[in-house]
Amino acid sequence: MHAPVVRDGGVADRVAVEEPLEIRVGGEALAVTMRTPGHDEELAVGFLHGEGLLAGPVRSAGPTPDLVANVVDVDAELARRPTARRFYTSSSCGVCGRGALDEVAVHADPLPAGPVVERALLAALPDRLQQPGFAVTGGLHATGLFDASGTLLCVREDVGRHNAMDKVVGRALLDGGLPLHRRVLCVSGRLSFELVQKAAVAGCPVLVGVGAPSSLAVELAADRGMTLCGFARRGRVNVYTGAERVA
């Protein structure tokens, strides 16, 4: 997850690893993303689910039979054929410019009532994220999945904030835990449209972030009936949408 380098003055430093991952479905190359290696099967499955491409259960997901590095092949039925350009993503922005409210509505139903969570607990969730990679490199984002009592159920780190979310959602899918109707997601950075999109498609009614949301993120959260909370730090949190779930 992190590699040593030597800084000026001979002091050893560690930086987050970033490498390409090719995602295949049934042997066909479908997407390439820049990510931090680790939990690649979760990333591939979570990405496909977030894009509304899975028509049924995932039969298997793993390295290609010839053990080609940085390639994961998913055995599953596609709900639709992606466009000819396919998806080529980056660690910074994901599938940039693709999301629109009407597009998300196709893949994400309006969210259920979900849990009611104490405001103080929402503010405290970022402090409960376990981020050993960030502690070493300062260069990784994190997404954590919590229950309504604030117990951390799963956390993943990655150079791409959307990849960290995909890994958590992919893990939940592989464990039979979707939709996330009674769960809370927390991210270590800002709240982009894409993160709200992925949380909505996963059925999660509450999303918390350390940073600020974008205008489109707030619009999408309101449209899908999500509780969106930002600037969760030092015991405080801003609630932008879905205040009915905040006690």
Mean pLDDT, residues 124-129 taken together: 96
Q: Which of 93, 96, 204, 229 is catalytic?
A: 93
CATH number at residue 52: 3.10.20.10
Average pLDDT of the residues in 98-108: 60
- The CA angle 142-247-223, to the nearest 5 degrees, is 65
| pLDDT reading at 5 higher than 60 | yes
Could you give the angle at which helices 40-50 and 161-174 cross, rounded to 10 degrees? 90
Tell whether 123 and 90 lie within a shared domain. Answer: no
pLDDT value at 115 more than 70: yes
The yes-or-no verdict on residue 74 having pLDDT over 50 is yes
Q: Indicate the pLDDT class of residue 108, thresholds 50, 70 and 90.
A: confident
On whether both 178 and 216 belong to a single domain, the answer is: yes
CA distance 118 to 171: 26
Counting every residue written for the chain, the total comes to 247
- Classify residue 53: in a domain, yes or no: yes
Q: Could you tell me if 86 and 51 lie in one domain?
A: yes
| Position 197, amino acid | Q
Confidence (pLDDT) at 62: 85
Same-domain status, 21 and 137 = no
Going by C-beta distance under 8 Å and a sequence separation of 6 or more, which residues neighbour residue 109?
A: 203
Closest to 197 in 3D by CA, of 171, 232, 161, 237:
161
Q: Does the structure show a pLDDT above 80 at 87? A: no
Q: Which of 77-81, 148-152, 165-169 is least confident?
A: 77-81
User: What are the respective helix, strand and coil percentages of the chain, to the nearest 5?
Assistant: 30, 30, 40
Contact status, residue 45 vs residue 61, Cβ threshold 8 Å:
yes
CB 103 within 8 A of CB 128: no
pLDDT digits (tens, 9 = 90+) for 197-240: 999 999 999 999 999 999 999 999 999 999 999 999 999 999 99
* pLDDT confidence band for 106 (50 / 70 / 90): low
Q: Is the pLDDT of residue 98 over 70?
A: no
Residues 65 and 167 occupy one common structural domain: no
Whether 127 and 74 share a structural domain? no
The amino acid at residue 223 is D
Q: Taking the complete model, does pTM exceed 0.85, yes or no?
A: yes
More confident residue, 45 or 1: 45
Regarding whether 241 and 155 lie in a shared domain, the answer is yes
The answer to whether 208 touches 186, Cβ cutoff 8 Å, is yes
Total domains, the chain? 2
Q: 80 is in which domain, residue-wise?
A: 16-100
92 and 181 housed in the same domain? no
Task: Evaluate whether residue 84 is within a structural domain.
Answer: yes
Residue 93 annotated in active site: yes
51 lies in the same domain as 127: no
When comparing pLDDT for 207 and 105, which is higher? 207
> Is 84 found in the same domain as 57?
yes
Do 112 and 206 touch, CB atoms closer than 8 A? no
Closest to 240 measured CA to CA, from 224, 183, 148, 219: 219
Distance CA 150, CA 128 (A): 8
Backbone angles phi, psi at 85, to 5 degrees: -75, -15
186 and 239 within one domain: yes
